[in-house]
Amino acid sequence: MFVIGGIQKTTLLDFPGKIAAIVFTQGCNFRCGYCHNPDLLEIKQICDPDLVSTSFSKEKLLSFLQSRIGKLDGVVITGGEPTLQSGLYDFIKEIKKMNFAVKLDTNGTNPSIIEKLLNDNLLDYIAMDIKSPVDKYSLITNSKVNIDNIKRSITLIINSNINYEFRTTVVKNQLSFDDFNKIGELIQGAKCYYLQKFNSLNVYNPEFINMDTYNDNEFLFICEILKKYVKFVDFR
């Protein structure tokens, strides 16, 4: 099964150094209040195992990508949570046959598929969301979380031979300055970590519409905290 929620035909921002298309998968095992893709959390409108609607069939998507050979450098696969898709591995193999670079966005809850993709050299870049320190994970994701899986994914990514980033969406009343010390300890030794400013537009939980993020000076202070643990830290 590979359930597609949508596509963005071109992006210059989401795959560092690449002109890419974005494939959005449906379904996520987290329910973060600040999620900015709430329409992708549930799997909807399934007509057959590989089809959400006639607009986004896997076959049509692969045909589109075939037509973009020589015009695009890569493909970003995001969600939702792509690693929930049983057809993810085969879909990426099809993309790699076209010689596209592949970037995977993930929440890190399925380290076994991440490990398989890395071992088989099917990923060129991976971005993993770090939701919080381990003690707040279930609270912020509104989900039951296997922290051992999160830690295993972090280790796999840090020890991989591809480019990667860790990133955290920052809602001010969810994460304190001390929480970032704990996050730093969780990803200690990582090459790259981004803090992402929370945007209250189109969120899963309407209560987050009135919530805020830190200001730039506070983000600079948080970056200094994290530089004790991570080689490169920035906010965006």
159 by Cβ neighbours in 10 Å (0-12 / 13-18 / 19+) ranks as: exposed
Lookup result for tokens 């359930």: 3
Each residue's pLDDT tens digit, 22-41: 999 999 999 999 999 999 99
**Containing domain of residue 129, as a range?**
4-235
Contact (Cβ atoms closer than 8 angstroms) between residue 134 and residue 177: no
C-alpha span between 193 and 65 (Å, rounded): 30
Neighbours of 224 (CB within 10 A): 11
Range with the poorest average pLDDT among 9-13, 45-49, 113-117: 45-49
In a 13 Å sphere around the CA of 185, the CA atoms on its Cβ side amount to: 8
Q: How many domains does the chain have?
A: 1
Helices (H), the chain: 58-67, 88-97, 111-119, 137-141, 147-158, 177-186, 216-226
pLDDT at 220 over 60: yes
Contact (Cβ atoms closer than 8 angstroms) between residue 136 and residue 178: no
Structure confidence at residue 45 as a pLDDT band (50, 70, 90)? low
Neighbours of 10 (CB within 10 A): 11
CATH number at residue 120: 3.20.20.70
State residue 57's pLDDT score.
83
pTM, two decimals, is 0.94
C-alpha span between 23 and 25 (Å, rounded): 7
C-alpha span between 153 and 113 (Å, rounded): 10
Share above pLDDT 70 across residues of the chain, in percent, rounded to a whole number: 95
State mean pLDDT over 157-161: 98
